[in-house]
């Protein structure tokens, strides 16, 4: 899970600060497709109404299942009082709320028909300053405890459990610890480790944990300068390097001057070193009493066992009547007599345009919303900001005043909601115009309201998500927990927070009586007439990065000057001691305390999903692939794949633009707004993307490294709808494929400006992904294509396309039209089409007439020619790509300069040659490296937020990566030492079968994640498309399960002889200069 958009700062193992943490789930889709967002549709603020989702049958269990679940209501235990029982019919959840008699802890037991069992414990942890104490504590409590004696039980669980979720996250006002597993034995193991960790952590008695995870002064030689180190410290330096994060932080603090939301729970790098160990330990004592906790269970596990396990931990504590009052969140009252204006700098590169960012922010409510108000404000948010055709979003983007939206609209996961919106890439002279446009657009909404079709589309979009309850591979139990916590953490009913039917019906009634008025009134009261707002302007500073670094150096120099030689020697001694502790192996008796599974607990067979292939179905020339599952709740999931191999290679980078235009510029008789509303009203969402997938060559040996010359290239249109709406869904597929409006100059410029801004933010905030894409582009044809389409090279492409759109639009339009004409070439297009469908038997029976009608009307001639066979002949792009790679993707060490306080360090190379067999044991070994050696040396010792490695058995390329790393040259040295460390581990494993077992279990966990119905269909479709056989999948799994120390040794020897190694690093100019002094030279390129 990663932090995204709104007010997010830090995910720590991963944590979120300065954000409603559910924002890390909120992949708000500004196109036409619905967003499967877990957090939003679980809270009442995510519910909406429609008239076309009644056929969704989600969470309607059989009578037998309901009867069994109902038995779990009110299960008793002598240590607990039952506060209430409740059935949340919306989610098939049978809930009992308990209070532990001795400690006062509250526990919500939710019984559902879900084998992906979830446990969470949440503490209300409001900070009073920006030292990051709740965030540092969240990292630290998982570093050993009373019962579990290793340095980092979290990592042991990560390495060797079947967890489907294992994490923790910090909100501005609470801290959550969550685990999930489909294996009951594993689930209980996870619960025990987490429960002991939060209540009895080593961290509160061992200052070294605070030093490692939070901050410490580091000095190795008396003549060297002092430095700050610490995982959270460096993580937050990365956060504070991002202009977007700085803006979100400043925006939140500007409207919450008087309560806990006005400080940074993640920690400011300037303030983190002010946190003492004593304050750190005191914070735990104050807020981590069970009386201040909310304990949550969900799934099909035994309720009595839940209570038994938790009583073992809770019975150690007596009552603490002061715990809850001490953590109460105070309301921020609306105290501004007039809106406030704030100007702050953000770090900019030397070549970066002198553009500003502006965002207008409101404190929405200073009292609890009613259930109907919560629904209404969320529908209003979607009407204003939910898609690229929503009025406020559309007006801002079409104004030409900026490059992309910032803010994102409503944030409602804290006690008080906020609403923020603005633009990035604004010229200084246009700053005031942005605020004026936002206000005038809201005034227009108040005056004119929303149309009936706009309301219907927004309400259906959100209600579809809510009723479908499709959380993907994310545990449904955690989604229920996050939804319930929005009320429960503020001492309100956890189950009321999950209900939506009654307030939904009330909102529908209100709309039927007065139409748009309910939304107009809300805009007027909570936004237009609300003076508690701020306008934040961020202006570029090309010296800010240097100033911040210099300020840190000066501060450290001053500290060193003030110290005696004895004090400095103590720091040197502590540095040595800490590194010795970090590098030390856990004692066997400590490792033995960590509960684990046995290999016999693992499933030995690969999970296969249903598939039936019908070639030339109904004489259409189109192949139809079906995945018939037990139940898809009345929903049909569809993918239409269209071959794009005929496109010229120079036009391939246009595919991301082309697929966005299919949904955002209108089609046929529909303008962009009408198309978006049609999609929203009748479907659960439609999206379009490019799919490039390597395939197994005919006659080749499966399980070997491919030449990279055989791959399929498809344009993929994806959608979902209830079975009675598939005619509409397929009609939309056909419409956007044939008739998308490509002659849309202003919209294309808008899309390209937005893409440029987003890609620049990605390089700066997710440099590890940038580095990895760059590395892989040097060794493999498919990797090179991906780099052209979505990597760093695509940023240059977007800039070139933007210039062409502005100065020679007819030429760009001709290229786009040629793409469409090529992929719809009547003589071959149907041969390259595949319709992939996932549903249950009833769905398939009902939609078959729609399928046949759709196939008959698709473009192209059913009896015409054939495309080449991509499984037997190289793809037509291959020859030209190889020429380009030789010229523009040489194996070299490249550095990409951006304004940042941290580094993202990548290094990789070819581990296996073309044609060599790759054993499934490689998955075990590479994962072992990432969760062991890399974790210990890059994160724990090095202080980076993340260190990991990736190996792709199809192309044989291996890469090391780091994330928010304070080091550059040192991390490359760590990578270079990995092979020797792995050889040592292989030797140790000869006498340590438990270590091998742990590594195997962790690799199996990666293979066996929980999947939603549509994900099961997609997984099996891609297996078929790439010609991967069930026999090969089973062989690979057997090799994983049968991994030996010899496999580790063989992998290490390959790593030691890594072929054609090269690096790609995203960092600052100063960091590259320091690396050069250490002998690490790079070819540098200024990105921003």
- What are the start-end ranges of the E strands in 31-146? 80-88, 93-100, 106-111, 117-124
- What are the start-end ranges of the E strands in 159-235? 163-170, 174-181, 216-218, 227-229
Q: Around 461, how many Cα atoms within 13 Å sit in the side-chain half-sphere? A: 33
Q: What is the pLDDT of residue 64?
A: 59
What's the whole-number mean pLDDT along residues 706-727? 96
- What span, in angstroms and rounded, lies between the C-alpha atoms of 370 and 294? 23
- What span, in angstroms and rounded, lies between the C-alpha atoms of 526 and 226? 50
Phi-psi region of 299 (alpha: psi -120 to 50; beta: other; left: phi over 0): left
- What are the start-end ranges of the E strands in 728-787? none
Q: What is the pLDDT of residue 19?
A: 27
- What span, in angstroms and rounded, lies between the C-alpha atoms of 588 and 586? 6
- pLDDT of 597 > 70? The answer is yes
The answer to whether 183 touches 481, Cβ cutoff 8 Å, is no
Q: Return the percentage of the chain with pLDDT > 70, whole number.
A: 94
Other Cβ atoms within 10 Å of 337 Cβ, number: 8
- What span, in angstroms and rounded, lies between the C-alpha atoms of 56 and 54? 5
Q: State how beta strands 174-181 and 117-124 pair.
A: antiparallel
Phi, psi of 696 (to 5 degrees): -80, 130
Q: What is the mean pLDDT of the chain?
A: 92
Q: What is the pLDDT of residue 8?
A: 28
What's the whole-number mean pLDDT along residues 113-134? 97
- pLDDT of 101 > 50? The answer is yes
pLDDT digits (tens, 9 = 90+) for 729-744: 999 999 999 999 999 9
3-state class of 803 per DSSP? helix
pLDDT digits (tens, 9 = 90+) for 561-580: 999 999 999 999 999 999 99
Structure tokens at 352: 């970066």
- pLDDT of 2 > 90? The answer is no
- What span, in angstroms and rounded, lies between the C-alpha atoms of 970 and 939? 12
Task: Please give the helix or strand (H or E) that residue 184 lies within, else none.
Answer: helix 184-199
Rg of the Cα atoms in the chain: 28
Q: What is the pLDDT of residue 1073?
A: 95
pLDDT band at 351 (very low <50, low <70, confident <90, very high): confident
Structure tokens at 722: 């209830």
- What span, in angstroms and rounded, lies between the C-alpha atoms of 106 and 97? 7
- pLDDT of 926 > 80? The answer is yes
Positions marked active-site = 138, 213
* Burial class of 762 by CB neighbour count within 10 A (0 to 12, 13 to 18, 19+): middle
Nearest one of 141, 190, 195 to 166, comparing CA atoms: 190
Nearest one of 106, 103, 110 to 82, comparing CA atoms: 106
Angle at 735 between CA 734 and CA 739, to 5 degrees: 120
- What span, in angstroms and rounded, lies between the C-alpha atoms of 1038 and 75? 42
pLDDT digits (tens, 9 = 90+) for 497-547: 999 989 988 999 999 999 999 999 999 999 999 999 999 999 999 999 999
Q: Measured over all CA atoms, what is the biggest interatomic distance in the chain, rounded to whole angstroms? A: 88
Phi, psi of 277 (to 5 degrees): -60, -35
Q: What is the pLDDT of residue 62?
A: 53
Nearest one of 1060, 1084, 1085, 1071 to 969, comparing CA atoms: 1071
pLDDT band at 33 (very low <50, low <70, confident <90, very high): very low
- pLDDT of 41 > 70? The answer is no
What's the whole-number mean pLDDT along residues 591-615? 95
Q: State how beta strands 894-897 and 1083-1086 pair.
A: parallel
Q: State how beta strands 117-124 and 293-299 pair.
A: antiparallel
- pLDDT of 759 > 90? The answer is yes
Q: What is the pLDDT of residue 63?
A: 57
Phi, psi of 465 (to 5 degrees): -55, -45
3-state SS of 552-621 is HHHHHHHHHHCCCHHHHHHHHHHHHHHHHHHHCCCCHHHHCCCCCCCHHHCCCCCCCCCCEEECCHHHCC
Q: What is the pLDDT of residue 374?
A: 93
- What span, in angstroms and rounded, lies between the C-alpha atoms of 838 and 1015? 9
pLDDT digits (tens, 9 = 90+) for 1033-1068: 999 999 999 999 999 999 999 999 999 999 999 999
Partnered with residue 176 across adjacent β-strands are 122, 169
Nearest one of 91, 58, 191 to 494, comparing CA atoms: 91
Q: What is the pLDDT of residue 65?
A: 73
The answer to whether 598 touches 997, Cβ cutoff 8 Å, is yes
pLDDT band at 56 (very low <50, low <70, confident <90, very high): low
The dihedral formed by the CA atoms of 775, 778, 780 and 784, expressed in degrees to the nearest 10: 90
pLDDT digits (tens, 9 = 90+) for 790-829: 999 999 999 999 999 999 999 999 999 999 999 999 999 9
Partnered with residue 694 across adjacent β-strands are 711
Contacts of residue 783, Cβ cutoff 8 Å, sequence gap at least 6? 708, 773, 776, 777, 955, 957
189-198: burial string, b at 16+ Cβ within 10 Å, e else: bbbbbbbbbb
The answer to whether 932 touches 159, Cβ cutoff 8 Å, is yes
Tell me the C-alpha to C-alpha distance, in Å, between residue 200 and each of 140, 203, 295, 1082: 11, 9, 16, 47
Partnered with residue 410 across adjacent β-strands are 419
Which strands, in side-by-side order, build the sheet including 623-629?
Answer: 612-614, 623-629, 834-840, 635-643, 711-722, 686-694
* Burial class of 589 by CB neighbour count within 10 A (0 to 12, 13 to 18, 19+): exposed
Q: What is the pLDDT of residue 5?
A: 25
Tell me which of 52 and 490 has the higher pLDDT: 490
């Amino acid at each position: 899970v990663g932090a995204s958009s709104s007010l997010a700062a830090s995910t720590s193992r991963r944590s979120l600060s300065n954000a409603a943490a559910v924002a890390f789930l909120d992949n708000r889709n500004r196109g036409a497709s619905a967003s499967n967002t877990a957090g939003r549709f679980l809270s009442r603020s995510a519910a909406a109404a429609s008239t076309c989702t009644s056929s969704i049958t989600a969470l309607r269990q059989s009578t037998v299942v309901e009867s069994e679940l109902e038995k779990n209501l009110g299960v008793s235990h002598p240590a607990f009082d039952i506060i209430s029982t409740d059935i949340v019919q919306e989610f098939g959840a049978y809930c009992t709320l308990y209070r532990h008699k001795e400690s006062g802890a509250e526990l919500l037991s939710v019984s559902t028909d879900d084998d992906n069992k979830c446990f969470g414990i949440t503490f209300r942890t409001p900070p009073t300053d920006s030292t990051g104490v709740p965030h540092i504590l969240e990292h630290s409590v998982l570093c050993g405890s009373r019962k579990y004696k290793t340095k980092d039980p979290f990592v042991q669980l990560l390495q060797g459990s079947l967890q489907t979720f294992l994490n923790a996250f910090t909100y501005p006002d609470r801290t959550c610890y969550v685990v999930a597993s489909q294996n009951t034995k594993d689930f209980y193991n996870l619960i025990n480790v987490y429960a002991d960790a939060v209540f009895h952590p080593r961290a509160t008695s061992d200052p070294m944990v605070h030093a490692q995870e939070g901050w410490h002064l580091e000095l190795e030689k008396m003549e060297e300068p002092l430095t700050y180190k610490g995982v959270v410290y460096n993580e937050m330096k990365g956060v504070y390097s991002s202009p977007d994060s700085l803006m979100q932080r400043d925006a939140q603090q500007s409207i919450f001057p008087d309560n806990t939301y006005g400080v940074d729970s993640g920690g400011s790098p300037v303030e983190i070193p002010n946190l003492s160990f004593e304050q750190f330990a005191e914070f735990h004592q104050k807020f981590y009493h069970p009386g201040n906790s909310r304990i949550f269970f969900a799934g099909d596990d035994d309720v009595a066992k839940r209570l038994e396990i938790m009583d073992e931990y809770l019975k150690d504590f007596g009552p603490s009547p002061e715990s809850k009052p001490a953590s109460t969140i105070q309301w921020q009252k609306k105290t501004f007599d007039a809106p406030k204006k704030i100007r702050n700098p953000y770090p900019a590169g030397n070549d970066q345009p002198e553009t500003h960012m502006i965002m207008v922010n409101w404190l929405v409510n200073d009292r609890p919303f009613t259930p109907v108000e919560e629904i209404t404000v969320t529908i209003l948010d979607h009407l204003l900001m939910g898609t690229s055709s929503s009025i406020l979003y559309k007006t801002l983007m079409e104004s030409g005043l900026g490059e992309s939206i910032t803010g994102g609209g409503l944030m409602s996961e804290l006690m008080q909601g906020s609403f923020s919106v603005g633009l990035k890439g604004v010229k200084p002279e246009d700053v005031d115009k942005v605020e004026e446009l936002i206000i005038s657009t809201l005034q227009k909404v108040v005056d004119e309201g929303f149309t009936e079709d706009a309301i219907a589309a927004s309400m259906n979009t959100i209600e579809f998500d809510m009723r479908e309850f499709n959380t993907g591979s994310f545990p449904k139990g955690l989604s229920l927990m996050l939804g319930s916590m929005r009320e429960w953490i503020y001492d309100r009913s956890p189950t009321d927070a999950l209900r939506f039917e009654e307030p939904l019906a009330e909102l529908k009634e209100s709309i039927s009586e007065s139409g748009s008025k309910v939304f107009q009134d809300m805009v007027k009261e909570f936004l237009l007439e609300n003076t508690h707002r701020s306008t934040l302007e961020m202006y570029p500073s090309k010296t800010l990065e240097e100033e911040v670094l210099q300020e840190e150096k000066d501060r450290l120099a001053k500290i060193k000057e003030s110290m005696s030689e004895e004090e400095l020697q103590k720091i040197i001694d502590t540095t040595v001691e800490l590194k010795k502790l970090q590098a030390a192996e856990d004692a066997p008796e400590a490792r033995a305390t960590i509960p684990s599974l046995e290999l016999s607990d693992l499933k030995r067979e690969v999970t296969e999903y249903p598939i039936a292939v019908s070639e030339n179905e109904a004489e259409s020339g189109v192949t139809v692939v079906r995945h018939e599952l037990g139940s898809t709740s009345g929903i049909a999931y569809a993918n239409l794949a269209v071959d794009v191999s005929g496109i010229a290679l120079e036009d391939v980078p246009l595919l991301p633009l082309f697929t966005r235009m299919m949904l955002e510029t209108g089609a046929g008789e529909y303008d962009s707004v009408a198309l978006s509303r049609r999609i929203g009203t009748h479907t659960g969402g439609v999206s379009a993307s490019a799919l490039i997938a390597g395939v197994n060559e005919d006659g080749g040996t499966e399980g070997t490294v491919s030449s990279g010359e055989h791959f399929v290239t498809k344009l993929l249109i994806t959608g979902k709808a209830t079975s009675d709406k598939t005619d509409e869904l397929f009609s939309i597929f056909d419409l956007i494929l044939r008739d998308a409006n490509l002659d849309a100059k202003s919209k294309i410029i808008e899309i390209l400006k937005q893409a440029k801004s987003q890609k620049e933010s990605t390089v700066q905030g997710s440099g590890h992904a940038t580095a990895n894409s760059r590395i892989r582009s040097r060794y493999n044809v498919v990797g090179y294509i991906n780099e052209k389409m979505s990597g760093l090279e695509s940023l240059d492409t977007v800039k070139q396309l933007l210039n062409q759109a502005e100065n020679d639009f007819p030429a760009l339009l001709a290229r786009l039209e040629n793409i469409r004409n090529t992929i719809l070439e009547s003589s071959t297009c149907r041969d390259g089409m595949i319709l992939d469908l996932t549903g249950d038997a009833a769905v398939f029976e009902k939609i078959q007439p729609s399928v046949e009608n759709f196939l008959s009307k698709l473009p192209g001639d059913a009896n015409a020619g054939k495309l080449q066979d991509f499984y037997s002949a190289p793809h037509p792009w291959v020859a030209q790509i190889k020429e380009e790679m030789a010229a523009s993707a040489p194996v070299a060490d490249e550095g990409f300069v951006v304004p940042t306080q941290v580094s993202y360090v990548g290094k990789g190379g070819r581990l296996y040659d073309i044609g060599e067999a790759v054993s499934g044991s490689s998955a075990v070994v590479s994962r072992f490296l990432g969760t062991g050696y890399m974790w210990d040396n890059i994160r724990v010792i090095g202080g980076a937020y993340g260190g990991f490695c990736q190996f792709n058995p199809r192309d044989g390329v291996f890469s090391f990566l780091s994330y928010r790393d304070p080091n550059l040259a040192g991390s490359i040295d760590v990578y270079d030492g990995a092979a020797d460390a792995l050889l040592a581990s292989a030797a140790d494993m000869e006498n340590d079968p438990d270590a091998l077992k742990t590594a195997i279990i962790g690799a199996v966990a990666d293979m066996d994640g929980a999947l939603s119905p549509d994900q099961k269909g997609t997984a099996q479709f891609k297996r078929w498309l790439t010609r991967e056989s069930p026999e090969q999948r089973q062989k690979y799994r057997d090799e994983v399960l049968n991994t030996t120390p010899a496999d580790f040794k063989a992998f290490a020897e390959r790593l030691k002889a890594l072929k054609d190694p090269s690096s790609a690093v995203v960092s600052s100019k100063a960091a590259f200069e320091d690396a050069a002094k250490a002998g690490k030279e790079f070819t540098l390129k200024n990105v921003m």
